[in-house]
Amino acid sequence: MSLTTWLFFLPACFALNMAPGPNNLLSVNVAARHGFMTAFITGIGRLVAFALMIVLAGTGLAVILHASALFFLAIKLTGAAYLIWLAIQLWRSDAAPVDTSKQGDMSMWRLARHEFLVAAGNPKAILVFTAFLPQFVNISQPMLPQFTILGTSFLVLEWFSIALYSAAGMYLGRWLTRAKVRRWFNRTCGTFLGAIGLSFLLVRHS
């Protein structure tokens, strides 16, 4: 992979990182309710999921994924079900006041786990690593170093995306001092998460 190819990859990749999606929406919601640092740190759960996808794509799972419609369907249905479940939880939320002083390790772990599961169950994210990244790989050169560079670049840019969406959510948090506004915000996020979950069902195996 040449330097020119890598420089071309960076802006295209960052556009994907910044595209509105379930994990970015989750970062906005977490930051608004619990603060910037909580959303930023628990975003590691998303990075872990994406890192595993990159490793699997680089070691040949892409071939299996494209060949197995059943495997793809299982991932799609699991991801859709989890997002719809999250949407229902947000709709049923009691709009508890935003309080960053009570965030313990267990709470951080739970939020990071949500990030991981949402990312792991997103078939569109899987397709990014099995269809997008390989476009920048030179098959005449060793594959592992190229996937390492592309994957690392993706994860760094993804963390920038987490920071930007978390900052947006933090400023939204200033408006969430009233229960009605918090309830409206949670239900809006829940609606979008549910819609994204349903849209997963429309992603076809190619």
Q: Are 129 and 53 in contact (CB under 8 A)?
A: yes
pLDDT beneath 70: ranges in the chain: 20, 61-69, 72, 75-76, 79, 83, 93-106, 124, 127, 131, 139, 173-174, 176-179, 182, 189, 193, 200, 203-206
Q: Are 80 and 197 in contact (CB under 8 A)?
A: yes
pLDDT for the residue numbered 48: 96
Map out the domains of the chain as residue ranges. Answer: 3-200
Residue 197, H or E segment: helix 179-200
* Class of residue 125 by CB neighbours under 10 A (exposed 0-12, middle 13-18, buried 19+): buried
Q: Is the pTM of this model over 0.85?
A: no
